[in-house]
Amino acid sequence: MKYQAPRGTQDILPKDSSKWQNILNVSKKNLEFYGYKEIIIPVFEHTELFQRSVGESTDIVNKEMYTFLDKSDRSLTLRPEATAGVMRAYIENGLHRDPKPVKLWSFGPMFRYERSQTGRYRQFHQINAEVLGSTSTSCEVEAMHLLSSIFHELSIDFRIEINSLGDEDSRKKYKEYFQKYTKGFLSDLCDDCKRRYEQNPLRMLDCKVKADQEIYAGAKKPTEFLSETSNKRWEEIKTLLGLYKDKAQRTIKNIVTNPNMVRGLDYYNDFVFEIISTDETLKGQSTICAGGRYDNLVESIGGPKTPGFGFAMGVERLMLVVKESGEKETSLMFITNQDDSYNITDELFKHTEHENLKLTVEINYNPGNITKQIESALKKNIDFILFYLDEEKKNNKIKIRNLKTREEMEIPAKAENIVEIVRRSISTKK
């Protein structure tokens, strides 16, 4: 074989694409139910937009961006995440003058130059959602319900972990405290943490090295340094999510606080969360959704001061964890000679459109041997076969056979009669 897909890219084959679409459809349905509207934005942006918004100190900007010069020497970057571009579009198109909150969702490929593994790709896809213009804790609470609903509908086992990083003030105080706390241990820490000590002390908290964790275990957590307003928010969210109630009384049962959780992007403040699949096939990459509040992002890239909240779901990771592929369509196969069955299929198509019926039709490409055609229909797991051969045509009839129940009947050769039979079989199945 001559060509291979580049490292970290993936083909979604026909056998999997219906699962993919199901993930998208379920997400879209839930998002739009809560008032999110779709926004479609470019796959690349000016490099500077990501540097500013995602943050110069992040790994994403430092080593993972697909950056290139176009023929006019503009520095462009394939988007590593969606929020920056959505914010740019929000400002540029004056959506900040729309009634608040503005709720947007989007879907598409993202690009990060990293080592690929199961559930981690260089081109990967996210379903992304943003709420702009509201500081209400309803943003957070509603999102937890919305996401629970999506993952329940997709039959995924998951757990939600939440935390608060606090506002700028809270984080500054915590950073000072934490640096002071760890200073004496500096020589005992792993190399990564030594580096993080200066660059991003918060990140030390979710270090995977056991010895380091033992050192940090004695330290206070960011939530103990929350400013008054941040603390009020945090308590309100926990109350609204029922964390102070008995587990049995909560509407979302599998939600816990994780005081060590931090985020990889710089723009978050206060509430942050991750949704973790408890399915073991995901191994190291078990986070299927993550997000948080970003009240300073819009302003930092030149827009009016606008509070924001958002999250992203990783579609490739969901693909590994979702078992079902959604509603199966009913399939028909015509056993016929290569002539005028298309009159009927054209009619059928119009009926399926009007009646919102999921039907797929196949006309056997190799007419001749009837036995082989039936075998072919069985192999393809077809639901109905339609005999429309000389004998039937003479009487203007069709023989329709349900391959699952083996029932067969002769009906007028008309689309509406076929649709009726199919409908009847679907309703008795349910």
Partner RNA sequence: GCAGUUGUCGCCAAGUGGUUAAGGCCCCGGGUUGUGGUCCCGGUAUUCGCGGGUUCGACUCCCGUCAGCUGCCCCA
Q: Which residues bind RNA (CB under 7 A)?
A: 1, 4-9, 58-60, 63-64, 81, 112, 114-121, 124, 126, 192, 196, 203, 207-209, 263-265, 274, 283-285, 287-290, 312-314, 316-317, 366, 368-372, 374-376, 378-379, 381, 387, 389-392, 399, 401, 403, 406, 408
**CA dist 396 to 251, 363, 393, 405, 414, Å?**
58, 18, 5, 25, 9
User: Minimum CB separation from RNA for residue 356, in Å?
Assistant: 28
Taken as a whole, the chain contains a residue count of 430
Contact at 8 Å (CB) between 105 and 208? no
Residue 86 neighbours by CB distance under 10 Å: 23
User: Minimum CB separation from RNA for residue 5, in Å?
Assistant: 7
- Taking alpha carbons only, the member of 117, 44, 48 closest to residue 81 is 44
User: Minimum CB separation from RNA for residue 201, in Å?
Assistant: 11
User: Minimum CB separation from RNA for residue 231, in Å?
Assistant: 25
- Written as six digits, the tokens of 142 are 């509603």
Task: Give whichever of 69 and 370 is closer to RNA, judged by the CB atom.
Answer: 370
Task: Give whichever of 21 and 117 is closer to RNA, judged by the CB atom.
Answer: 117
Q: Which helix H or strand E contains 111, and what residues bound it?
A: strand 102-111
Task: Give whichever of 123 and 352 is closer to RNA, judged by the CB atom.
Answer: 123
Task: Give whichever of 243 and 389 is closer to RNA, judged by the CB atom.
Answer: 389
User: Minimum CB separation from RNA for residue 192, in Å?
Assistant: 5
At residue 198's C-alpha, the angle toward residues 192 and 203, to 5°, is: 55
Task: Give the integer Cα–Cα distance in Å for 265 and 162.
Answer: 16
Strands 308-314 and 330-336: unpaired
* Contacting residues for 212 by C-beta, under 8 A, at least 6 apart: 189, 190, 193, 204
Task: Give the integer Cα–Cα distance in Å for 327 and 308.
Answer: 35
User: Minimum CB separation from RNA for residue 291, in Å?
Assistant: 7
Q: Where are the alpha helices (DSSP H) in 125-205?
A: 138-153, 168-183, 191-199
User: Minimum CB separation from RNA for residue 195, in Å?
Assistant: 8
User: Minimum CB separation from RNA for residue 111, in Å?
Assistant: 9
350: three-class secondary structure by DSSP: helix
Task: Give whichever of 13 and 248 is closer to RNA, judged by the CB atom.
Answer: 13
User: Minimum CB separation from RNA for residue 110, in Å?
Assistant: 7
Task: Give whichever of 143 and 313 is closer to RNA, judged by the CB atom.
Answer: 313
- Taking alpha carbons only, the member of 272, 260, 241, 273 closest to residue 161 is 273
Task: Give whichever of 130 and 316 is closer to RNA, judged by the CB atom.
Answer: 316
Task: Give whichever of 207 and 231 is closer to RNA, judged by the CB atom.
Answer: 207
Contact at 8 Å (CB) between 153 and 135? no
Could you tell me what percentage of the chain is helix, strand and coil, using 3-state DSSP and rounding each to the nearest 5? 45, 20, 35
Task: Give whichever of 96 and 399 is closer to RNA, judged by the CB atom.
Answer: 399
